[in-house]
Amino acid sequence: MTTALTPPPGRLADRYASAFPESRRRFDRARGLFPTGVTHDTRMMDPFPVYVSHCKGSKKWAVDGPELIDYFVGHGSHILGHSDPAVVHAVQTQMAKMTHPGASHDLELEWGTLVQKLVPSAERVRFTGSGTEATLMALRLARLFTGKPKVLKFHGHFHGWHDYATVSSDPPYDAPGVAGVPDAVSRQCVAVPPNDLGLVERALSHDPDIGAVILEPTGGHWGAVPVRGEFLRELRDICTRHDKLLIFDEVITGFRVAPGGAQAFYGVRPDLTALAKILAGGLPGGCLAGRADVLAYLEPRPGKPKMKHPGTYNANPLSAAAGVATLNQIATGDPCRKATAAARDLRNGFNALFAERNVPWVAYGDFSMVRILPGYTGERPRPEVTGHDGLIPHGGDVNALDGPKNLAQMTALRQAMLLNGVDWWWLGGMTSAAHTAGDVAATVAALGSALDLLAAEGIV
Ligand code: PMP
């Protein structure tokens, strides 16, 4: 097993380039192959991204050799850690049996039953190929059920990349449209700043065409601007009073925050819930779960329109096998508890480091999601105990917490963390049940040494 590199001397960017030469070689090839050279926007990185050969537990290994503590955790899908033995066994066994029967099968029943058992509002379940497809389905069903074309969303909340909810996902949040999306479609999505119930009331009262409200229930971009239970409870009341559907996008929070997601943790029942990521145990897959009378629009009924829904890989047996092996462990509550504890310890460790060094940065976030915010001189958080009620910096202002980013600083931080053996997800990171106290301590030490590297470049 190779351990992290001792950073070579020189400027940070040069150290990074000389520490990961094999990755650079691959990226040079990729540039002639893929637009931007990568296959997902979040993997774009200057001057090149790290290529990874294999992963296990909380670790991933760069093709250049170093072992890295991983805080991408499969874009949030690996709460058990990479290559969990039960998941690997289930998928390998299933692979030899069948990957696509072109027919109904037992594993989809088992998978759907687990979703129904764990997620409080899941009266019915329909599997999709991804989280994007799940929110797409939620919005189309909401239109059919309510007879209203529009949806209300919040600035900075991300619901996948289809045309119908991409408005105001990224700063600047008041930009009128989205590149490539017809204005007529963008206008069907009304976006307001997060956490302001007055604005929600006003929008719902003034625009009779809005039929539903969608949100990430712990806050946009997995908690960059945290949402707390009181807001969810009042939003539920408002939606009920105005006769609107409430849609939780639990693609990240589902099976992460708690076995039943944010809705179970906060005791708030949405009408529809989009799920993906952990749902499929790190393989592709998603589902929409929710009220039977809304999902009934997927069924042919006399006098009612039916929403068409094919999808080659819906409930495919490999994703189902991984999902069942994962959700059976999630049901114990143990993975969510462990991941939350690791993230809480990480936030506490980071904040102690910033305080000790008098660095104007802060760590915050809820559950197993961690955020770092540079350029913060406000009130310092006290060590958290629970993992979900720490200080929210800047009073939760979306533009201060999740506004335009300093890309040069973020890139330098990412490079410095990689040099110190940590793949930190830009300004955030998610933990898994596989992250140990040793990983947390090593990550805090890595950030300490990254701050030195940044200070030497005049970046902190
Ligand atoms: N909703 C949220 C909250 C997400 O974070 C994501 C993906 N990061 C999606 C929807 C889209 O899911 P997918 O990438 O599976 O299409």
* Residue range 402-419: mean pLDDT, rounded: 96
Give the chain's radius of gyration (CA, Å).
22
Q: How far is the CA of 159 from the centre of ligand 1 (A)?
A: 6
User: pLDDT tens digit string along 359-371?
Assistant: 999 999 999 999 9
Atom of ligand 1 nearest to the CA of 284: 15
Mean pLDDT rounded to a whole number for the chain? 96
State in Å: Cα 285 to ligand 1 middle.
11
Q: Which of 251, 277, 367, 426 to mutate to test the pocket of ligand 1 (most atoms within 8 A of CB)?
A: 251
Is the per-residue pLDDT at 418 higher than 70? yes
> Does residue 2 register a pLDDT over 70?
no
Atom 12 in ligand 1: residue holding the nearest Cα: 131
What ligand 1 atom has the least distance to the C-alpha of 76? 8
Query: For position 7, what pLDDT does the model report?
Result: 53
pLDDT given for residue 4 in this prediction: 47
Say yes or no to pLDDT of 227 above 80: yes
For residue range 382-392, what is the model confidence (pLDDT) as tens digits? 999 999 989 99
**Cβ neighbours, 10 Å, residue 435:** 28
**Distances from the Cα of 261 to the Cα of 117, 128, 199, 233, 343, angstroms:** 12, 19, 26, 15, 17
Cα 158 to middle of ligand 1, angstroms = 7
Cα separation, 213 vs 241, whole angstroms: 13
Determine the pLDDT at residue 90.
98
* φ/ψ (deg, to 5) at 32: -85, 0
How many whole angstroms separate alpha carbon 231 and alpha carbon 190? 19
Tokens of 406: 């300093």
Q: Any residues with Cβ below 6 Å from ligand 1, and which? A: 75, 130-132, 135, 158-160, 216, 249, 251-252, 276, 286
- Give nearest CA residue, ligand 1 atom 1: 159
CA distance 105 to 325: 16
First and final C-alpha spacing in the chain:
33
d(C-alpha 203, C-alpha 182), whole Å: 22
Q: What average pLDDT score do residues 235-241 get?
A: 98
Q: What is the distance in A from the centroid of ligand 1 to the CA of 131?
A: 5
108-164: pLDDT as tens digits: 999 999 999 999 999 999 999 999 999 999 999 999 999 999 999 999 999 999 999
* Dist. CA 443–CA 316, nearest whole Å: 37
User: Is a pLDDT exceeding 80 seen at residue 312?
Assistant: yes
pLDDT digits (tens, 9 = 90+) for 319-342: 999 999 999 999 999 999 999 999
- Please check the confidence at residue 309 and state whether its pLDDT lies above 50: yes
Ligand 1 center to 353 CA (angstroms) = 32
Q: What is the pLDDT of residues 158-191, one digit of tens each?
A: 999 999 999 999 999 998 889 999 999 999 999 9
How close is the Cα of 13 to the center of ligand 1, in Å? Answer: 31
